[in-house]
Amino acid sequence: MIGFLRRVREAGILGMNQRNADFIMEYNNRKYYPLVDDKLQTKKLAQDAGIRVPELYGMIEIERQIRQLSVMLDGRDDFVIKPAHGSGGNGILVIAGQQHGQYRRASGLLMPLEDVGHHVSNILSGMHSLGGQADKAVIEQRVQFDPLFDDISYRGVPDIRTVVFRGVPVMAMVRLPTRRSDGKANLHQGAVGAGLDIATGQTTTAVCLDKPVHAHPDTGAPIKGIQIPGWLDLLTLAARCHALAHLGYLGVDIVLDRTQGPMMLELNARPGLSIQLANRASLRHRLRIIEALDSIPEDARERAELARELFATPGLQETADVAGKTDDIAAEPSGTNLSRVSL
């Protein structure tokens, strides 16, 4: 029991309460939340700052505009509809094509225009938004994602989530959609999270539904060792988003477009904690290191380089070894740790 508690302390895992109390409340000023909670505002801010984002096709603000949906979507069969104030990836409809006069979703299901209209109506009524307030529906370009992740994702858009603290990227992961997550790149819906080595941009360990995995559950391809192209640029992009949102503790979601390169998809003021499981590393240690820094470079690229320097995992090989051994952990019957805690 005591040994377990010591290990818990040494692991330095950031819990939900500590994330909220020590980082989100300390470093994120509430008045900047609307900037990241409203995806339209984030998009405009990013465009002004010269950060590439998916192109905005249109926006629906009132119920009546749904009638013009067919006009608005005319000629487009490849787009994403999402709530401007969505949370947790809910309410995102990905249309990947047209078939027999119906839209084809990323999951392969066909959907008549009428159903798309209903989806928009649900978005407007605030069904998917934080706190249920009335919302806007955003129609934007569907990213033609880089074939890099083709083997290890099941439809949908894989994205790269980076936690940026005081402008310094501290931890990153690739989120790979699975059949179970219905093409969504959200870990709690069943997507795979693959940790990224901050120094090299290579995938390391991975997690799916809080359990360590080393192959994609649908494709069976190994996840480890995939190199993200232009890694320093990507880190720099994530670091730049800090100035955009004025949030000290920030999650930046970036997608890799086949032709246009990295694009900022959205920002998150309350990034989740599963990134620790994906990387098999502690956020708290890294956050405390950044917290202890006296000065932080002004330039985003310098901050990205600082991160590579600080969080280069000397034992990358070693971590990878442990990841290889994790199968038996995942296969073990549940309940041992928790019961030890409660005893």
Partner 1 sequence: MKNLHLKILAFTLIAVGVGLMWHKVTTLGLPLTPDEETTIWTVEARIKVEAEGGPAQVNFMLPGNLPGFNVLREDFVSGRFGLSRENDGLNRQALWTARRADGQQTLYYRLQIADAQNASRTSVDGSQPPYPAVPEYSEPYGSAALTVLDEVRQESADIASFTRRLLNRYYHESPDEHVQVLRGGIEDDLTHVENVIHILAGARIPARAAHVLELREGMRRVDTVPYLEVYTGSEWVPFNPTAGQRGYGESTLVWYRGDAPLLYTSGANAIDVGFSAARTARAVVDVAEQRAELIGSRVMDFSLFSLPVDTQNVYRTLMLVPIGALVVVFMRNVVGVKTFGTFMPVLIALAFRETQLLWGIILFTSLVAMGLTFRFYLERLKLLLVPRVASVLVAVVLLMMSMSIVSHHLGLEYGLSIALFPMVILAMTIERMSLVWEEEGASNAIQQGVGSLVVAAIGYGVMNYPPLAHLVFVFPESLLIILAIMLLMGRYSGFRLTEFWRFRSLFRETSRT
The contact set with partner 1 (CB under 8 A) reads 3-4, 7-8, 10-11, 13, 15-18, 20-22, 63, 90-91, 114-115, 118, 121-122, 125-127, 180, 188-190, 210-212, 276-277, 280, 282, 318, 322, 325-326, 329-330, 334, 337-338, 341-342
Shortest distance in whole angstroms from residue 179 CB to partner 1: 12
The residue to which tokens 């034992």 are assigned: 315
Task: Select 236 or 319, whichever has its Cβ closest to partner 1.
Answer: 319
Shortest distance in whole angstroms from residue 173 CB to partner 1: 14
Of the CA atoms within 13 Å of residue 315, those in its CB half-sphere come to 8
* Pair 164, 239: CB distance under 8 Å: yes
Shortest distance in whole angstroms from residue 114 CB to partner 1: 8
Shortest distance in whole angstroms from residue 13 CB to partner 1: 5
Which tokens in the block code for residue 98? 């047209």
The residue to which tokens 């992009």 are assigned: 237
CA 306/CA 5 separation, integer angstroms: 33
Task: Select 71 or 329, whichever has its Cβ closest to partner 1.
Answer: 329
CA 132/CA 86 separation, integer angstroms: 10
Q: Taking the alpha carbons of 246, 247, 250, 253 in that order, is the dihedral positive or negative?
A: negative
Task: Select 28 or 236, whichever has its Cβ closest to partner 1.
Answer: 28
Task: Select 137 or 237, whichever has its Cβ closest to partner 1.
Answer: 137
For residue 73, how many other CB atoms are within 10 A of its CB? 19
Shortest distance in whole angstroms from residue 206 CB to partner 1: 12
Task: Select 8 or 49, whichever has its Cβ closest to partner 1.
Answer: 8
Which tokens in the block code for residue 246? 């004025």
